[in-house]
Amino acid sequence: MAFLLPLCQVTGATLPARTFADALDVRTALDDGTVANASQLVEWFADYLADWLAPVEARSVVAAQSLVRVWRSAGRLSKDTAEDVVVRLKALDKRLFDAERSAHGREARLTAGRRYLRIALKRYPLAGLEAYEDWVMRDECKGHPAVVHGWVCAYLRVEERSAVHMYLSAVAQHSVQVAVERGVIGSRETLGVLGPIAAQLERFVERSLASPDVHDERLVLAPAT
C-alpha cells in the first residue's frame, strides 16, 4: 500500500513485515468505538505511545539491546557477570508479559515475538538468538518482540534511536493499515493521519531515550516506591 511508505521506509529490512499483524490494541479500539475516524485514530495512537509504547516497550528495546551487547562479549566477561546478564534478560521478558493489560494483549505479543524470533533466526544465524530460543523452549521466558528487536539491533549494531524508531513505526504502520482495512479511514485520509503520527513518533523516541538510566532494564515496569 503506497500510503504506508513513509513509515515502511524507516523500519527498513530489520523488523520483519507484519510482525504485529495479530496485535489487538488497535483492533480493540476499533471494535469498542474508541476509534471511529481519522482524528480519533491520531488521538488514540498518541495516548498509546504515552501510556505504553514509549515508557514500556521502547525502553525495553533499548534495555535489551544494551544487555545483549554485553552478553555478546561474553568471552571477555567473568562467569558471574555473564550469568547476571542472562538473568536480567529473562526477567525483562517476564516483566513485559506480566504487565500486559489483558490476556488478549499478552497472547498478541506472544505471537508477534515468536514470529519475529522465527524469522530472525533464519535471517541472522550469527546473532546468537539460539540461546534466546532455548530459553523460550524451556519456558524460562516467553519471547517478547521488544526483546527480540533489541537483540537483533545489538547484533546489527543499529543505533539506539533508529532501533526505537523502527519498533514504534512498525506498530504505527500496523495500526494505520488495520484502520484502513476496517474502512475507518480512507486512502485520502491516510496522509493526514501519517503526518501527525510521524511527529508523535519523533517526540516519543526522544522521550524514550531521554532518561539517563534508560539502559537499566530493572527500572522498566519497576514497582512504584
Radius of gyration of the chain (CA): 17
The beta-carbon contacts of 2-10 under 8 Å, at least 24 apart in sequence, are: 3/176, 3/180, 3/187, 3/190, 3/191, 3/194, 4/173, 4/176, 4/177, 4/190, 4/194, 6/194, 6/198, 7/169, 7/172, 7/173, 7/176, 7/194, 7/197, 7/198, 8/173, 10/165, 10/166, 10/169
Q: What is the pLDDT of residues 71-123, one digit of tens each?
A: 887 666 567 777 888 899 999 999 999 888 788 888 889 999 999 999 999 99
Q: Where are the domains of the chain?
A: 2-10+20-208
Architecture of domain 2-10+20-208: Orthogonal Bundle (1.10)
Pairwise pLDDT comparison (189 vs 211), residue with the higher score: 189
Instruction: Find out whether 101 and 116 touch, Cβ atoms under 8 Å.
Output: no
Phi, psi angles (nearest 5°) of residue 209: -95, 0
Q: Is the pLDDT of residue 214 over 90?
A: no
- pLDDT tier for residue 143 given thresholds of 50, 70 and 90: very high
Give the separation between CA 197 and CA 49, rounded to whole angstroms.
Answer: 10
Q: What is the pLDDT of residues 58-83, one digit of tens each?
A: 999 999 999 998 888 766 656 777 78
> pLDDT value at position 218?
58
Look up residue 94 and give its amino acid: K
Q: What is the pLDDT of residues 6-64, one digit of tens each?
A: 444 434 456 776 788 766 788 888 889 999 999 999 999 999 998 888 888 999 999 99
> pLDDT value at position 14?
67
